[in-house]
Chain A
Amino acid sequence: MSDGIHAIVMPKWGLAMTEGMVAEWTIEPGAAFSRGDEIADIETAKITNALEASTSGIMRRLVVEPDEMVPVGTLLAVAADETVSDDAIDAFVSDFQANFVVEETEEDSGPAFEHVTLSDGRNIRFLRQGAGGGPTLVMVHGFGGDLNSWMFNQPVLSEQFEVIALDLPGHGGSSKDVGGGDVAAMSQAVLDFLDAADIASAHIVGHSLGGACALHLALTKPERVASATLICPAGLAPEINMTFINGFIEARRPRQLRAALELLFHEPGLVSREMIDDVLKFKRIDGVPEALKAIAEAAFAGGRQSHVMVEKLSELEVPIQIILGASDQIVPVLEALETRAGVTVHRLEGSGHTAHMEAPGKVNALIADFVVAASG
């Protein structure tokens, strides 16, 4: 931002992303927009998703034409209020482009992932972004996911906070031993991670199974949880879509897996071939099939969630917000949660079980505001 001028750049969605293209501008030059509005569709090798505005403003200049592949960080568009002159915008664009340097790819600098060893010897992989000093966010993905689940969230939130995304045991680059595999065991691993990483207290953001872990920790270790944001969380109701769980575990071929993954989204077209390939590759790693099965058997025994905490919401000592996808097909979209004291609930229309991916701008704003308020 300079003199009320805001640069909109090619985002970096996940560590592997080095370039992307605007598939379509969904905003006209001159139009006003609010934080969270979709302004473009961005296509990368891995995924196509909407770019949501991270601030409010007026779209003054579309710098990049659709279908042009550009490096991460490239200036895509310029926003500013009406008081800024066109000359100032021109100057801003040429200045930006003159100073723009393509970021070195991770291969050259080595991956930014870090690892810690838990007290029980297991290894946890995590990614730390953003500066320390302020509030620390710890993001916990769901069943079958990994820290890349936060690719639309972590980079944005890390502009404001220190954000740590971890891989649960059995997932991503962490040890594949899931211990008991239930919500308590996975929560314990998150707690052990906080110890090992020397984090006294954090704002925990959890999705699905990770949401259940965040809630479990808020209930059992309130001194370690500054606030909890539960996105489409497990742990609130006994129902769970076992077609998804079993399909995810059993699918060996792209077609089968696509059917399972489509259940995660309001817009099934978001399931890309690359997403399917990535999940298939994950499932082929030694220990992963056993880990997923162990979690499913412990956390979703007999097709029901074993750990239901909805009745305990009123006992919470820490601030908590729940973000639900209105078209969630995996866990129930519960009514009447708002009636419980101290619980803030948001229902996002047009989102399925992955609201943080389908409506990242809105979810990011909700998280940021909530964390700021809770840190107040």
Chain B
Amino acid sequence: MAKKSVRQAINEALASEMRRDPRVVIMGEDIAGGMGAPGEDDAWGGPLGVTKGLLGEFGRDRVLDTPITESAFIGAAAGAAATGLRPVAELMFVDFMGVCFDQIYNQAAKFRYMFGGKAVTPLVVRTMYGAGLRAASQHSQCLYPMFTHIPGLKVVIPSSAYEAKGLLIQAIRDDDPVVFFEHKAMYDEEEEVPDEAYTIPFGEANITREGDDVTVVAFGRMVQFANQAADKLAKEGITCTVIDPRTTSPLDEDTILEEVAATGRLVVVDEASPRCNMATDISALVAQRAFSALKAPVRMVTPPHTPVPFAADLEDLYIPGPAQIEQAIREVAA
């Protein structure tokens, strides 16, 4: 075991599953790079280098560079999954779902149900999300609520390197279509990650902090911010339970409800736009099923209902951070 970045953890997960199962192939725009060009092969290894080196081990038959043609290759991945491969397709930025969503939500997500349970679609779509790289409105969104909305899809949002490896291996071995969200600002974050393959089951939340006063539910990159806020407040005697649901579909409702029942106070932190996001979804869940346990109104920490801005000062204002989470916790704890 050694410290590994989120980028390495994902690369290891892909390599380990490609070694284990010859049906696993990966595809995407410049996941190797250099096709047909006079220079180096594997020139990029993915736009942020996540898949670098896989070409060397697995070759062009299993590391498939695609033209810029999301509709065709995401659909091809869905069709390949339904016919015997286990493809991992990289949708470079989730913002590009607009040019291929039909293949995900009308095709892959619905095969099994429409075909009366006779289809199996072991597809993984890896995709980058999130603000923080000054990538502006069309390369920074957190669109996981839109995928979470679709029955038939599973949606995974890892919050660290350890989580990313185990959840991605689980995703690749899962027989349902999975959309796997990678926060582009987290690729260099490191922690201890086992060398061996391991799996983290879907629908089982991780409790990253245990406390008595406030329950905080946070997703993806927001988990570390919630932990920071919780650690700071713990020194003042306000202790929080921080829940990382890991997957928004399936969602570990039981853990959220149990912990809210224990603390009576809830803050939900979601980097997605505030209308119909995971914060509203979990607030509704708690309002319906744990209302009597609540000692204070639920607080949601989200960005404003605007596109993601470009200018650094604006983007920093846009992204929820530890300070806002801390403020929300103080308010519900008061």
Question: A interface vs B, CB < 8 Å?
Answer: 16, 107, 111, 173, 252-254, 273, 281, 284-286
Contacts and interface: CB of A to CB of B under 8 A. Distances in A.
Contacts of A252: 201, 204
Contact of B198 (A16, A253, A273, A286): A286
Interface string B150-167: 000000000000100010
15 contacts: A16-B192, A107-B2, A111-B1, A173-B196, A252-B201, A253-B255, A273-B210, A281-B194, A284-B198, A284-B200, A285-B194, A285-B198, A286-B196, A286-B197, A286-B199
Contacts of B166: 284
Interface centre among A173, A252, A254, A284 (most CB of B within 10 A): A284
Contacts of A284: 166, 198-200
B326 to A, nearest CB: 22
Nearest to B207: A254
B160 to A, nearest CB: 12
B3 interface: yes
Nearest to A16: B192
Interface in B198-251: 198-201, 204, 207, 210
Contacts of B196: 173, 285-286
Contacts of B198: 281, 284-286
Interface of B: 1-3, 162, 166, 192, 194, 196-201, 204, 207, 210, 255
A281 B194 CA distance: 9
Nearest to A288: B198
Contacts, number: 28
Contacts of B207: 254
Contacts of B199: 284, 286
Contacts of B201: 252
A111 B200 CA distance: 25
Interface centre among B2, B162, B198, B207 (most CB of A within 10 A): B198
Nearest to A287: B196
A326 to B, nearest CB: 30
A253 B204 contact: yes
Nearest to A110: B2
Given A107-B2, A254-B207, A281 B197 contact: no
A47 to B, nearest CB: 15
Contacts of A107: 2-3
B195 to A, nearest CB: 8
Contacts of A16: 192
Nearest to B196: A285
A253 B197 CA distance: 19
Contacts of A285: 194, 196-198
B164 to A, nearest CB: 13
Contacts of B192: 16
A19 to B, nearest CB: 15
Contact of B2 (A111, A253, A281, A286): A111
A252 B170 CA distance: 15
A111 B201 CA distance: 29
Nearest to B210: A273
B257 to A, nearest CB: 14
A173 B194 CA distance: 9
A289 to B, nearest CB: 10
Contacts of B210: 273
Contacts of A111: 1-2
Contacts of A254: 207
A62 B232 CA distance: 29
Interface centre among B1, B201, B204 (most CB of A within 10 A): B1
Interface centre among B201, B204, B207 (most CB of A within 10 A): B207
Contacts of B162: 281
9 closest residue pairs by CB, A with B: A284-B198, A285-B198, A286-B197, A285-B196, A107-B3, A284-B199, A284-B166, A284-B200, A286-B196
